[in-house]
C-alpha cells in the first residue's frame, strides 16, 4: 500500500526526533506573540527590525490595496507589472547602489530564477558548503557543474577556480549564514571573482536592512562595488513584508527578465505589497535607532551567555546560535524555555550538520534589555 510506505517514513523520522511541527500564531508577528492560545516572549523570527507589524507599513498596505486592488491578476510579463512594482524596483536599485533591480515573489524563487537564468550546461557554479537550501536547489535546477568549497574558505575557492575550464563561472554565497549567523568574507570572494572573471551572487537575506549604512546590506558594510556582484535580498525578513529583489547591471537584469522561469511563469505579487515595501524602505533609511538597538542587544546577549555549558557560535549579527549537539537535547532545551514562556526554536539536521543541533536565537530591535535578560536568566536556570 502506498500509504504504508509514507507512514513508515514519517514514523522513522519521529523516532529520530526529526519530525517538524507547525504551531499556530494567533497574534501579529513580534516580540510578544500568542501561540496555540499562550503568550510567549519570542526570539524566533527574522523580523529583525520589528517592521512586520509597523503602523506605517500597515497604512501603506491599506492605501496600496485601495489604489491597486488586491490581486495583480497576471505575471509581470503579461499584465501584472504595476506602477508600485516599477517604482519600488528603481528605489531598491538606488538604495543598494546598482543600476537595475528586479522583484521576485519570494527569495526562494529569486535564487531559483537568477541562477537558472545565468548559468547552464557547460558552466560551473562554485558554492559555499553551508549555503541556504534555495541556492542548493537552484544549482541542481540550472544543470551547471557544481563545485562546493569549504565554508568561508577563500583559499579553497581559489583552488577550484584555478582548475575550472571554459564556460561561465558563478560563485554563490549567503552573505550572513542563516543557521550560523557568521558573515562570508565578501571582499576576498569578490577579489577572486575579478581575478578569475566569475560572477559573484550574494544572498543577503539576513543582511539587508540590518547591516551597512542605513541598512543597505552586506556589500555596503564591506564598502564593495563591482559590476560582477549580483545582489539578492529578501523582503520578508528585516524589511518586514514579503518578496525578494535581485539588483545588478542592466544586462544581468534584462537576462533575468528574458530567462528566469520563476519570474516569467508566476503571478506577480500583489502591488499593495510593493506599496508597503516603499514604506519599509523609508523606515530603514530614517530609523537608525533600530540597528543601534540591535547591536547593543547582541553585545548584552553574548556577555550574558558566555559561561554556559553550550557555546554561542561566533556571530556579530542578530542570528545567535547556541550549539547544544544532540537533537533531543536541543529539543528539550527549547521546550524548557517554552515552559518558561520563551520561544526559541531548536534547529536540527538536515538543516544543520549532524551533531550540531542548536537553539537559533534571533534578536529584534523591538526587544528590550529586560527581554534579553529574561532569556539569559532562563538559560542559566536550565543549565543547572
Please state at what angle helix 55-68 crosses helix 83-95, rounded to 10 degrees. 140
Least distance to ligand PLP from the beta carbon of 71, Å? 20
Closest residue to ligand PLP using C-beta atoms = 107
Our CB check for ligand PLP shows the closer of 205 and 305 to be 205
Least distance to ligand PLP from the beta carbon of 269, Å? 11
Q: Residue 270 carries which DSSP code?
A: P
Cβ count within 10 A of residue 137 = 14
Our CB check for ligand PLP shows the closer of 106 and 356 to be 106
Least distance to ligand PLP from the beta carbon of 203, Å? 5
Task: Note whether 40 and 338 are within 8 A (CB).
Answer: yes
What are the start-end ranges of the H helices in the chain? Answer: 2-15, 55-68, 83-95, 107-118, 133-142, 154-163, 186-196, 218-222, 250-259, 261-264, 271-286, 288-304, 327-339, 369-383
Catalytic residue among 68, 169, 206, 367: 206
Least distance to ligand PLP from the beta carbon of 324, Å? 21
Task: Note whether 144 and 121 are within 8 A (CB).
Answer: yes
Our CB check for ligand PLP shows the closer of 29 and 374 to be 29
Least distance to ligand PLP from the beta carbon of 234, Å? 4
CA 333 to CA 320: how far, in whole Å? 15
Which positions touch ligand PLP (CB under 6 A)? 106-108, 111, 132, 134, 174, 178, 203, 205-206, 234, 236, 244
* Closest residue by Cα to residue 293 from 50, 29, 32: 50
Q: Can 206 be counted among the known catalytic residues?
A: yes
Strand partners, 360: 321
Our CB check for ligand PLP shows the closer of 106 and 275 to be 106
Task: Note whether 21 and 323 are within 8 A (CB).
Answer: no
Q: Cell numbers 546590506 correspond to what residue?
A: 217
Catalytic residue among 45, 72, 178, 220: 178
> Which residues have C-beta within 8 Å of that of residue 235, sequence separation ≥ 6?
208, 241, 242, 243, 244, 245, 277, 280
Task: Note whether 220 and 213 are within 8 A (CB).
Answer: yes
Q: Can 178 be counted among the known catalytic residues?
A: yes
Our CB check for ligand PLP shows the closer of 134 and 220 to be 134
CA 82 to CA 34: how far, in whole Å? 36
My answer on whether omega of the bond before 350 falls inside 30° of 0, hence cis, is yes
Our CB check for ligand PLP shows the closer of 262 and 371 to be 262
* Closest residue by Cα to residue 281 from 56, 46, 86, 30: 56
* Cell, residue 155: 583559499
Q: Cell numbers 558566555 correspond to what residue?
A: 306
Our CB check for ligand PLP shows the closer of 127 and 378 to be 127
Helix (H) or strand (E) holding 343: strand 342-343
Our CB check for ligand PLP shows the closer of 124 and 134 to be 134
Task: Note whether 149 and 102 are within 8 A (CB).
Answer: no
Which residues form the catalytic set? 178, 206, 237
Amino acid at each position: 500500500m502506498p500509504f504504508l510506505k509514507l507512514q513508515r517514513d514519517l514514523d522513522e523520522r519521529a523516532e529520530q526526533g526529526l519530525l517538524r511541527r507547525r504551531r499556530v500564531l494567533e497574534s501579529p508577528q513580534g516580540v510578544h506573540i500568542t501561540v496555540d492560545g499562550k503568550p510567549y516572549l519570542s526570539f524566533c523570527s527574522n523580523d529583525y527590525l520589528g517592521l512586520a507589524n509597523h503602523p506605517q507599513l500597515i497604512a501603506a498596505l491599506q492605501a496600496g490595496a485601495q489604489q491597486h486592488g488586491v490581486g495583480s491578476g497576471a505575471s509581470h510579463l503579461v499584465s501584472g507589472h504595476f506602477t508600485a512594482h516599477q517604482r519600488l524596483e528603481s528605489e531598491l536599485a538606488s538604495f543598494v547602489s546598482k543600476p537595475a533591480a528586479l522583484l521576485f515573489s519570494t527569495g526562494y524563487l529569486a535564487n531559483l530564477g537568477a541562477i537558472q537564468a545565468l548559468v547552464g550546461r557547460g558552466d560551473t557554479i562554485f558554492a559555499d558548503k553551508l549555503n541556504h537550501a534555495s541556492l542548493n536547489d537552484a544549482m541542481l535546477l540550472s544543470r551547471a557543474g557544481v563545485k562546493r568549497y569549504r565554508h568561508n574558505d577563500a583559499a579553497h575557492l581559489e583552488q577550484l577556480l584555478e582548475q575550472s575550464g571554459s564556460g561561465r563561472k558563478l560563485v554563490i554565497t549567503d552573505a550572513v549564514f542563516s543557521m550560523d549567523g557568521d558573515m562570508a568574507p565578501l571582499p576576498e570572494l569578490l577579489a577572486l571573482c575579478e581575478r578569475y572573471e566569475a560572477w559573484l551572487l550574494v544572498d543577503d537575506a539576513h543582511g539587508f536592512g540590518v547591516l551597512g549604512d542605513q541598512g543597505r546590506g552586506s556589500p555596503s558594510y564591506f564598502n564593495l562595488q563591482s559590476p560582477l556582484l549580483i545582489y539578492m535580498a529578501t523582503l520578508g525578513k528585516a524589511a518586514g513584508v514579503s518578496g525578494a529583489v535581485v539588483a545588478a547591471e542592466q544586462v544581468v537584469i534584462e537576462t533575468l527578465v528574458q530567462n528566469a522561469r520563476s519570474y516569467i511563469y508566476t503571478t506577480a505579487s500583489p502591488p499593495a505589497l510593493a506599496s508597503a515595501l516603499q514604506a519599509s524602505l523609508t523606515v530603514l533609511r530614517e530609523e537608525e535607532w533600530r540597528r543601534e538597538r540591535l547591536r547593543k542587544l547582541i553585545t548584552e546577549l553574548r556577555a550574558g551567555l558566555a559561561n554556559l555549558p553550550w557555546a554561542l557560535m561566533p556571530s556579530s549579527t542578530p542570528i545567535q546560535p547556541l550549539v547544544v549537539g544532540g537533537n533531543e537535547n536541543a529539543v528539550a532545551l527549547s521546550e524548557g524555555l517554552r515552559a518558561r514562556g520563551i520561544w526559541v526554536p531548536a534547529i536540527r539536521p538536515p538543516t544543520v550538520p549532524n551533531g550540531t543541533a542548536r537553539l537559533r536565537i534571533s534578536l529584534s530591535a523591538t526587544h528590550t534589555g529586560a527581554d534579553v535578560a529574561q532569556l539569559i536568566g532562563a538559560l542559566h536556570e536550565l543549565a543547572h
